[in-house]
Amino acid sequence: MPFLTKLEPYLYALMRVVVGFLFIFHGLQKMFGMFGGRAMPLASLPGAASVIETVGGLLIMIGLWAGPVAFICSGEMAVAYFRAHFPKGTWPIQNGGELAVFFCFVFLYIASRGSGRLSVSGGR
């Protein structure tokens, strides 16, 4: 749709902000036990994930180093899928891993695009 093409840089920025914002909540669940989560020791694998999710989500949301940070977050979600979900079944719809797969591939896309417009890093 031609009119959406003109809005593409702004829609990408909106996607980056929303996805980063949602990712922060997963980190806060593990880091502080907020939003129905359980606080995990920072010196554990879930604790390290909480730091990646909270800090990574914030950096992606504001568009600071979004490319490299999204690459790290994508990897974290791939690890989360194969460690926590895949052992329960092959397909994400069966093993509850849809969100991990979704975040993994959205972050991979953000890693390929970088921060874009309306970002702290000014479009790099």
Q: How far is CA 122 from the centre of its chain?
A: 20
Q: Report pLDDT digits (tens) over 92-112.
A: 999 999 999 999 999 999 999
Q: State the residue for tokens 């417009």.
A: 117
pLDDT attached to residue 2: 84
Q: State the residue for tokens 């980063």.
A: 20
Q: Are 53 and 26 in contact (CB under 8 A)?
A: yes
Q: State the residue for tokens 């749709």.
A: 1
- Please indicate, yes or no, whether the overall pTM of this predicted structure exceeds 0.85: yes
Rg from Cα positions in the chain: 15
Q: Report pLDDT digits (tens) over 25-83.
A: 999 999 999 999 999 999 999 999 999 999 999 999 999 999 999 999 999 999 999 99
